[in-house]
Structure 1
Amino acid sequence: MQLRYNFRLYPAPPQRAALARAFGCARVVFNDGLRARREARAAGLPHLPDGELSKRVITEAKKTPERAWLGEVSAVVLQQALADLNTAYRNLFASLSGTRKGPGIAPPRFRSRKDNRQAIRFTRNARFSITAGGKLRLPKIGDVRVRWSRGLPSEPSSVTVIKDSAGRYFASFVVETADEPLPEAAAEVGIDLGLTHFAVLSDGRKITSPKFLHRVERRLRKAQQALSRKQKGSANRRKAVARVARLHTRVSDARRDYHHKLSTELIRDNQAVYVEDLAVNGLARTRLAKSVHDAGWSQFLAMLEYKAERHGRTFAKVDRWFPSSKLCSECGAVAESMPLNTREWACVCGAVHDRDANAAKNILAAGRAERLNACGGTVRPAA
């Protein structure tokens, strides 16, 4: 399995200037390639092959006075920027032909120098390396100081240098990792995700929602108000933009750390994890959009999925149309209607249910049934 290992970088001022130059050159090559393909399409010409496009926007462009400065950065950075464009077009064509699953892919767009996030990628052809002193050696940039929080499990195949909206630099290594099966556990768990509680487990445990955005909302509002009063193009406005970005990154970092710790705990303690296949995109268009985005369900489920695969656990999603909340986990009766403000309800059999805990139990039962079905088990329930 391929995983990414991220580490904080601390480039010196000359190295920051070299990185800014590399970011700009990669952006220009991407935009030139996109412009060439759009012009060819408008003229009724066939789609430009990848090799012809590389020759036109990199090799020949370096010989012109307008693009001679492309030679100041590593050629691998420019080739990888063009590879991103080619991948975007392949995904677009696969989406239009129906061979790619999921929602439709939009055509690639021009990259702006005002984007909050800038990135360049070095492959093994660039001959990047980690020095004996623990620094990251990048071609035409130098030895950049790295804050190593852990070791790399294998030799990285590529490294992506990222500058985020808060002005921080990161190195993202792609490494090949071996599976690490955990000892078998007897427990299995169903998870009902929500907003009042981040997760309610089938064993009755309720995990409180951290609400990271809500904690800094007051400071974020003041920072945004101060930003709106600054004159565009001024130094004070740049400082205000950086302050707002730092608050947002603090929220996203805390949320990611929380998701990592909780997903690791659930995968370690349970042999199988079952969740509901939520339509997060649809929920993000409702009046609860801010709370849905703050919860970060998609990121959490993605972590559960890849950690289950790596550690030999079972992870499955239950159909979103399964009536987990309205189904009685004791007798199987389905309630006629259940608005969101109903947190507890009584079944005709006499059982009184907590809405979320009952849903988690039903998700666990449905996940087990689907798993037995896939393994060839009996479909008809026992008498």
Structure 2
Amino acid sequence: HKDKVPDTWIRKQTLTNAERYITPELKSYEEKITGAEDRLFALEQQIFQELLIALQDFIAPMQVNGHVMAVLDVLCCFASNALAYNYKKPEVHDGNALQIQSGRHPVIERHLPPGEDYISNDTYLNPETQQIIILTGPNMSGKSALLRQTALITLMAHMGSFVPAAQAKIPLTDKIFTRVGASDNLSGGESTFMVEMNETASIINNLTARSLIILDEIGRGTSTYDGISIAWSIAEYLHDSPFAPKTLFATHYHELNELENRFPRIKNFHITHKEQGNKIIFLRKLAAGGSTHSFGIHVARMAGMPPALIQRAHEMLQQLEQQHGDGALGNKPSAVATLQAMPAREIQLSIFDAHSATFEAIRELLQAVDINRLTPVEALLKLQEIKNKIQ
């Protein structure tokens, strides 16, 4: 049918069994569509450049207005938060003492369940009398929250904001150093402990007399004795530093409580708790003196560890405490020797663990049931009986 093609059509492509044609009108539309995006971009650039040229004389006033609006926005947010969350005006002074009365964590207190109040705490640091606080206490008791809220209150005061505290006297602070959390740097070939040491070294090498230092569980990424030695040396170095930086040092190394007896400006504090039977109630209140227990096994139970595992942990803890609780330091056996001397536990554990007696009774009850003669009502009654035994 090639002879039927109009003369005005232009052949565009020849295929095996066909030919493609285009008309001048379609060619025109194709060019418009193909070049539309480029022309659109060029037009946008032209309009934008014309706008910039027209605004040249107004750029400085616009920048000033933008800055003023940003400052007003920040100050309005500060004021709104202060009114809504009962923040108080801090006193920023030229001295060195940091005093916070009834301080709170501005983030945590906003996420508490309805009706639950945040437990506030007082904090006092003074390079002359109480330069370093060694903070001990159980896991999950609130040590890290206290450290962070002190840093946040100091930062908020320097920002010009009211702070979550009944009263706060904050010294001028040029640097807030923090070493908290645990993370590695796999891409850089650095372990968790190496990252911790790098960050701590940066703090040690850059501190000033007006620095605030927050250290959370330094030395936990290595062996116990290495960790204690490093943590002790860091606290001692900070105490003897001519800058005497204010420091909050949270740790589970209760051996560091001895620092208070050897250095006049190091003080022991702990987060209080109350024991009721086998339960630990965290009071989350700061008190003078060191703590001697971390209650890590209790936290493991709260996390859902198997009862058999928890029981074995208690047995090992009691054995270690018995061996290391008495006698002079030089006469204490090593932890390895103590563990080697402990009797091996039975490997074959009962599948029902602490509830063996209860489950044995349930087993006997089920074995006595004739399923072929059991009616639906009797089955429900048996289930209720089993449920009562478990409870």
Which has the larger Rg? 2
TM-score by length of 2: 0.23
**TM-score if structure 1 supplies the norm length?**
0.24
